[in-house]
Structure 1
Amino acid sequence: MPTSVSNSLWLRRPQPEQSPISPTRSGLVGLEDSACSKCDHTLALYPANTGGDLLVFLRALLGSVCVIAASPAFAGDTPLYQPSPAWVTPVVLADATKSGGTSPVIVIFDMQQRIENGRLWSYTDGATRIASPEILAQAATLALAWAPDKGDLTIHELSIQRGTQRIDLLAKGQKFTVLRREESLEQRMLTGILTATMAIEGLQVGDILRLRSSTSAKDDALGGRVQNVAPILAAPAQIGFGRIRVSWPVSAAPQWKLLANGVKAVPVTKGAYTELTLDLPAAKQPDMPGDAPSRYQHPPLLELATFADWADVSKTFAPLFDTKGAIAPGSPLRAEVDAIKKTAASPLERAQRALELVQDKIRYLAVGMDGGNYVPQAPARTWELRYGDCKAKTVLLLAILRDLDIASEPVLANVGMGDFVPERLPSAAAFNHVFVRAHVGGETLWLDGTGSGSRIGDIRDTPGVGYVLPIDAAGAALTRIETHANARPMIDLSVDADESASGDLPSAFTATAIVQGPAASMLTLAKSQLGEKEQREAVGQFLQGFLGEGQYTDASIVPDPVAGVVTVKATGATTSIWRTDDRRRKRSVTRLIDQMNFDPDRSKT
């Protein structure tokens, strides 16, 4: 008999896809948002689960150089070749290979850092045993990435140890070749990253390949403050010699925090400096169920920062989001704001129109060059270019709202790990996104310029990012966003199916889906760029997760820019959802239910 099913997929407005934690060599992370990872091209040095792909880890170990700071000081577009800094305590390779009969692939993993005069110096020594042809294939080509406008890449040693013979590759004239390429354009990012590459000549199975390098970084946007996030390699990883060593002047001690189980460290004063040393690998970390809250899913970390508290972080960012004089008289942007004043009567309508303007008229593109990891693009420049990232869109939206006499301020957030923020050390490194908190008629509105399709009905939607830090010249404390259901579902699907012929035969159906958000943007793009046949295929792929495999006789995509939605309609036939269970014929109300799973591990409490 005919059946009619209506399903609304109520999701929070999709948040930017982020790696939960991407610790960096310098620890100076940036703010970023939709469709990309980190604005400052952070590099995860090793997987959170040390039982992950060893070859991937080894590639990161040998090629883990990424300079990220907002200052152009010490900048260079070619690697430097110099001895290691005097404060470094080098490791003797012969000592590292004394491993009691075992031969770990990771012979040396040594990270040393110094915080001094508002600068973070980072030194890495990595030695890998080429134990198999697979490892040889991975290690034979090095690729070191760095941002030339933000710091130098300095190579101290590149050598091969073959038995008792040490082969100095740099002395033999091998040098890195520098490539300029934008690898993140698909994620709408311009990073300016350079990549130094080298194909290691003569490397053989049984050799030990060693690379020692360092970077220096100072971020003027942080007002002389320094921060660092160092991942801690834990068991069951095996290392010949592993260490994290951090030092700072006795008179200028940073705050530090260990975010790891079973790991302890005691600072030791040596002359004018204090040292904190961790031996690696650390104790094996507890196994967490896959559905545990994100605050339990982070890798073991060592954090250091010279921020006093969260209020200090808030105050530090306030000058970067100052909008005074941002909208010049007679400018094109002034005309847009005046149009909102004329056509929108209430403050709530004006806030929605401002958000719609920033979302719809400014496309997303992250620019991490020239200090772009923390410093936002000027509103007038963003309007001229018609692109910007989360910082640029936020400061533009702030300028418009404030000109409309709507009280508002930016808030820092961590998409993906928002509930982990209160446990972290106060620093800018705890965040990867920024958007706006507005105050209208006694209500608090959370407005994200990097979203899409927000209309007046969505103005009260709440982002599920956990804790945020308001940016205020007087300082502010962490605030938790209390969420509620969105006003509209992201997908509202209605299906009329005729199953009267047989429970075993395909069912004729008519489906209508009202879509908003990023999915609506993709469908609009498909409508504008694809032919009729390709559009029908796109609709089929979109509906497959809800209806299963099917054949479509008709399909349409109808954008509605006023409502900020796209209506998808399709007719056709789909495979039967009926099944036999214990000699009874059964069917789910919808295939969506089959996709839902709740299977907590009660043994891990």
Structure 2
Amino acid sequence: MKSIRCAVLYFLACLVCVQAWAKPADYKTGAAAAWVVPVSPLHPPAATSLPPRGGVAYLLQDYQTRVDQRGKVTYLHVAKRALDSSGVEKVASISISYDPTYQSLTLHAINVIRDGKLAPRLASAKVHVLQRETELDSQIYDGSMTASVMLDDVRIGDIVEYAYSVDGSNPVFQNKVTGKADLEWAVPVEHAFVRLLVPSSRPVWIAPHHSKLKPQLREADDYRDYRWELHNVPELRVDSGAPEWYDPYASVQWTEFRDWAEVVRWALPLYRPQRDMGEALRREVERIAREHADPAGRVAAVLKLVQRDIRYLGIEVGPGSHAPTAPSTVFERRFGDCKDKALLVVTMLDALGIDAAPALVNTAIAREVATWAPTPTAFNHVLVRVRTGGKLYWLDPTRSLQQGDLEHLYQPDYGYALVLEQGAAGLSPMAGRAAPRKTVHALFDASAGLAQPVGYTVTTTFEGRGADSLRDQLVSNKAELVTQYRNFYARSYAGLRADGELKVQDNTPANALTLVESYRIAGFWERSGKRGRLEANIEASDVTGPLKAPDAIGRNAPLRLEYPNNISEVTEVRLPERWNLKSEKAEVHDAAFEFSYEVAPAADGKSVRITANYRALSDHVDPGDMGNYAAHLKKAREMVGYQLYTDAPGDRVAGEAPAASGSGLGVPGWLLGLAALSVVGLRRVLLPAGRGAAPEHREVNRRLALAGSLLGAMFALIGLTAIPLRYSLPVSAVVLAMLAKYLWEGVPLVPATHPLYRWARRCYGLRSDPVTMALWSLARKLPPLLGWLMLGSYAAQVLSR
């Protein structure tokens, strides 16, 4: 408790120092500078006005920046029209953010234009300057201020226009020019104007993104004047679910950094390892050196010390946004942000003789950072790159305490990193490592009998990042995690109840964590109301998540996928006796994922092993590939899951995927076929046969031959091809009803005058055989293979007479 109080007092003292360092947080009012080009919000657009969105029409977005020897000044001029009550709420509220440690705010104008008449409101407006730390939830304090204005008497149809300037640039960039302006938005904008003025003596590189618009360039008074102007810019709506790195909006970037090597030269003085590290930090380095002789052990020890003992808290005020704090200070106060913790690790490893360097990355746009022009603002995070034992390691000191030796530590991969070391000339690829796998083994023990509860044991092993995350959850709220897992499985098995405590097995050196859950499932076997049989569905719960169908196939943006994601799920079912089970094996390959599914019954028929594997191959699906992706997902989903069923206790049981809706009759079809064909043999023994037999005997022969051959073909086909039950039962009922009517009543089902009757007579050379026509009518409504087999079987019997 005492240490917590000390930490709080230290933090408050830092805030007091920040406030003392910051300039007065007030704003001032005045006219715009002479260099600003006036742009009217009422200038008629070059084409038809765009449809508004959200109750607001965006009339003007005017952004102008001027760079001089002192820094830069940015002028912003905005005009919006309120189209309904919701629009009034939006346009009547104005918020302007700035950093008082190096910036000053000047308000130039706040106007309300109603029916073409301009009413100045700046003098009467109530401006409140507030300190809103928007990133405190992320443990970041940046000292920024917000000037907030709430206008009175704004009505539907009014235009609210305001203009202001922010003067000053962050001294950490040493007056180097760098900036970016948007040319496209998620809302339509009628008029957009962007302007950049830089001294002619200073080279600036212009980099457009998703835009072919070229700037108008003018030179006057020793300044280069770049201008971009657009009218009626349509909205660009990006589909939800896009990757974080996807940014299709047009923009223009400018930078005075010639290349990435120049960015490295700017950053190296900020991230130089501290030689005079202080007594406390030196003793800690010496302790690690004594306890760990090998370099890998020393690296892991330093990383774990910083992760465990230095909590994350960033005071990123002014230059602190990009300049780290001295390692000795960070170690003494026991907190720091990513910059602070990275430099602390690098300083300690340098003292231990290990090659380590800070590495700048962007966790949001990841590999897309390579499309940016060189600038320090392209990055939002700092890692440590370590070279030891001939290998490279990318370590994140801000992560919660990681377990495992150096080889098994989770290492992030953001595509590219800018390593801050002498001689670095460009971005370095972060070679991705094999994705850690989540392995699930589910055991259903139904060996006690169909009437008994089934034992259900789930053993799940997490590796790498998954193990790190799970450890945090177990420490913070194990009881809630247990409840979440139980509810997850209870959605599939209503009778599920816990059967013991959650067991945790931590293989720390390999950074693998295993959970063992034990349940009992009552009512595992359920009576099907339609089929009258006992059924049990086996679900592969973990692999079904990434196989979920996308909300829409037609997209204008890539679809984000979890990556890396590697799941192996093995389900074992133990049965009370030998069951009739079939092997299955299938695979699905897509550009974004691969999936495999296998059913392997045991040789004794008393158990079955079902294996499903999913591995993501990409972090996204391109819009043009969505059709194939959705089709492959559907194919994989139809494989997942298995159903066991039996008509009555003791019957043989077949297995199937529930999506296939049944795998045939419980008794093998070929046995029924033999039984039916025996009818044909029986009638040849009991009744005279051949053309010399009495007419009434020939008629009976014909009917019995039809019954035997048709039933034999039908049941054999059902048994051998595993026609789903939803087809076989209706077909059997219709055929048996038809045969009974013809056998006992001789009622023709198709009139002799019907065209199909004449066709059959020509085909078979028969004068009169309504049964042929009945079969033809039925066959046309059945699956092709079954229908033609029935007709062929009957024709063979008739023509052989």
Identity %: 24
Q: Kindly report which structure 2 residues correspond to 1:512-527, keeping only aligned pairs within 5 A, or say none.
A: 512-515=459-462
Alpha-carbon separation, structure 1, partners of 2:315 and 2:547: 38
> Which amino acid is 1:470 matched to?
V
Alpha-carbon separation, structure 2, partners of 1:446 and 1:465: 10
What's the counterpart of residue 127 of structure 2? Answer: 176
The answer to whether the Cα contact below 8 Å between 1:79 and 1:176 also exists between their aligned partners in 2 is no
Partner residue of 1:540 out of 483, 491, 502: 483
The answer to whether the Cα contact below 8 Å between 1:304 and 1:425 also exists between their aligned partners in 2 is yes
What's the counterpart of residue 116 of structure 2? Answer: 164
Is 1:221 aligned to 2:172, yes or no? yes
After TM superposition, the score normalised by the length of structure 2 is: 0.58
Gaps of 5+ in 2: 1-17, 549-591, 593-620, 628-801
Deviation at 1:404, TM superposition (A): 0.5
What's the counterpart of residue 65 of structure 1? Answer: none
What's the counterpart of residue 55 of structure 1? Answer: none
In 2 relative to 1, CA 248–527 (structure 1 residues): closer, same or farther, beyond 3 Å? same
In 2 relative to 1, CA 124–588 (structure 1 residues): closer, same or farther, beyond 3 Å? same
For 2:163, what is the secondary structure of its paired residue?
A: strand
- Range that drifts further, 364-373 or 519-528: 519-528
- Range that drifts further, 501-510 or 186-195: 501-510
Deviation at 1:385, TM superposition (A): 2.2
The answer to whether the Cα contact below 8 Å between 1:326 and 1:378 also exists between their aligned partners in 2 is no
Partner residue of 1:211 out of 155, 159, 162: 162
What's the counterpart of residue 771 of structure 2? Answer: none
Alpha-carbon separation, structure 1, partners of 2:624 and 2:536: 33
What's the counterpart of residue 478 of structure 1? Answer: 427
Deviation at 1:502, TM superposition (A): 11
For 1:371, what is the secondary structure of its paired residue?
A: helix
Deviation at 1:223, TM superposition (A): 2.7
Alpha-carbon separation, structure 1, partners of 2:136 and 2:127: 24
The answer to whether the Cα contact below 8 Å between 2:210 and 2:248 also exists between their aligned partners in 1 is no
The answer to whether the Cα contact below 8 Å between 1:157 and 1:212 also exists between their aligned partners in 2 is yes
Alpha-carbon separation, structure 2, partners of 1:460 and 1:179: 43
Alpha-carbon separation, structure 2, partners of 1:555 and 1:90: 72
What's the counterpart of residue 790 of structure 2? Answer: none
The answer to whether the Cα contact below 8 Å between 1:262 and 1:283 also exists between their aligned partners in 2 is no
Structure richer in helix, relative to its length: 2
Q: State the Cα deviation string for residues 64-109 of structure 1 (Å, max 9, x = none).
A: xxxxxx9x99943122222212211121233257875768501111
Alpha-carbon separation, structure 1, partners of 2:101 and 2:414: 32
Alpha-carbon separation, structure 1, partners of 2:440 and 2:241: 27
Is 1:198 aligned to 2:149, yes or no? yes
Alpha-carbon separation, structure 1, partners of 2:138 and 2:417: 24
Is 1:129 aligned to 2:78, yes or no? no
Deviation at 1:257, TM superposition (A): 0.6
Alpha-carbon separation, structure 1, partners of 2:453 and 2:491: 11
What's the counterpart of residue 624 of structure 2? Answer: 602
Q: Kindly report which structure 2 residues correspond to 1:402-417, keeping only aligned pairs within 5 A, or say none.
A: 402-417=350-365
Partner residue of 1:356 out of 301, 304, 309: 304
Alpha-carbon separation, structure 2, partners of 1:438 and 1:282: 51
Partner residue of 1:469 out of 418, 437, 456: 418
Alpha-carbon separation, structure 2, partners of 1:195 and 1:541: 41
Alpha-carbon separation, structure 2, partners of 1:557 and 1:372: 45
Alpha-carbon separation, structure 2, partners of 1:300 and 1:459: 42
In 2 relative to 1, CA 263–98 (structure 1 residues): closer, same or farther, beyond 3 Å? closer
Partner residue of 2:380 out of 402, 419, 432: 432
The answer to whether the Cα contact below 8 Å between 2:93 and 2:151 also exists between their aligned partners in 1 is yes
Deviation at 1:451, TM superposition (A): 2.3
What's the counterpart of residue 367 of structure 2? Answer: 419
Alpha-carbon separation, structure 1, partners of 2:311 and 2:154: 47
Deviation at 1:527, TM superposition (A): 5.0
Deviation at 1:537, TM superposition (A): 3.2
> Which amino acid is 2:253 matched to?
E
Alpha-carbon separation, structure 2, partners of 1:421 and 1:118: 29
Alpha-carbon separation, structure 2, partners of 1:505 and 1:159: 79
What's the counterpart of residue 61 of structure 2? Answer: 109
For 2:320, what is the secondary structure of its paired residue?
A: coil
Deviation at 1:237, TM superposition (A): 4.5
Q: State the Cα deviation string for residues 130-162 of structure 1 (Å, max 9, x = none).
A: 111111122333333322223122211111111
Instruction: Tell me which structure has the larger Cα radius of gyration.
Output: 2
For 1:106, what is the secondary structure of its paired residue?
A: strand
Deviation at 1:372, TM superposition (A): 1.6
Q: Kindly report which structure 2 residues correspond to 1:276-355, keeping only aligned pairs within 5 A, or say none.
A: 276-280=226-230, 297-328=247-278, 330-331=279-280, 333-355=281-303
What's the counterpart of residue 313 of structure 2? Answer: 365
Deviation at 1:176, TM superposition (A): 1.1
> Which amino acid is 2:484 matched to?
Q
> Which amino acid is 1:154 matched to?
T
The answer to whether the Cα contact below 8 Å between 1:158 and 1:209 also exists between their aligned partners in 2 is yes
Alpha-carbon separation, structure 1, partners of 2:99 and 2:505: 41
Partner residue of 2:94 out of 127, 130, 142: 142
In 2 relative to 1, CA 181–95 (structure 1 residues): closer, same or farther, beyond 3 Å? closer
Alpha-carbon separation, structure 2, partners of 1:361 and 1:367: 18
Is 1:375 aligned to 2:326, yes or no? no
Deviation at 1:456, TM superposition (A): 0.8
What's the counterpart of residue 232 of structure 1? Answer: 183
What's the counterpart of residue 543 of structure 2? Answer: 592
The answer to whether the Cα contact below 8 Å between 1:113 and 1:120 also exists between their aligned partners in 2 is yes
For 1:377, what is the secondary structure of its paired residue?
A: coil
In 2 relative to 1, CA 93–549 (structure 1 residues): closer, same or farther, beyond 3 Å? same
Alpha-carbon separation, structure 2, partners of 1:225 and 1:576: 70
The answer to whether the Cα contact below 8 Å between 2:61 and 2:192 also exists between their aligned partners in 1 is yes
Q: State the Cα deviation string for residues 389-417 of structure 1 (Å, max 9, x = none).
A: 11011000001100100011111112232
The answer to whether the Cα contact below 8 Å between 1:462 and 1:481 also exists between their aligned partners in 2 is no
Deviation at 1:522, TM superposition (A): 6.4
In 2 relative to 1, CA 526–433 (structure 1 residues): closer, same or farther, beyond 3 Å? closer
RCO higher in structure (CA 8 A, sep ≥6): 1
In 2 relative to 1, CA 290–208 (structure 1 residues): closer, same or farther, beyond 3 Å? closer
In 2 relative to 1, CA 544–264 (structure 1 residues): closer, same or farther, beyond 3 Å? farther
Deviation at 1:313, TM superposition (A): 0.2
For 1:400, what is the secondary structure of its paired residue?
A: helix
- Range that drifts further, 115-124 or 367-376: 115-124
For 1:321, what is the secondary structure of its paired residue?
A: coil
The answer to whether the Cα contact below 8 Å between 1:326 and 1:399 also exists between their aligned partners in 2 is no
Deviation at 1:267, TM superposition (A): 2.3
For 2:268, what is the secondary structure of its paired residue?
A: helix
What's the counterpart of residue 510 of structure 1? Answer: 457
Partner residue of 1:442 out of 381, 390, 396: 390
Deviation at 1:186, TM superposition (A): 2.0
Alpha-carbon separation, structure 1, partners of 2:622 and 2:51: 39
- Range that drifts further, 289-298 or 594-603: 289-298
- Range that drifts further, 306-315 or 195-204: 195-204
The answer to whether the Cα contact below 8 Å between 1:77 and 1:148 also exists between their aligned partners in 2 is yes
In 2 relative to 1, CA 577–478 (structure 1 residues): closer, same or farther, beyond 3 Å? farther
RMSD: 3.9
Deviation at 1:549, TM superposition (A): 5.9
After TM superposition, the score normalised by the length of structure 1 is: 0.76
Q: Kindly report which structure 2 residues correspond to 1:87-106, keeping only aligned pairs within 5 A, or say none.
A: 87-95=35-43, 105-106=57-58
> Which amino acid is 1:90 matched to?
P
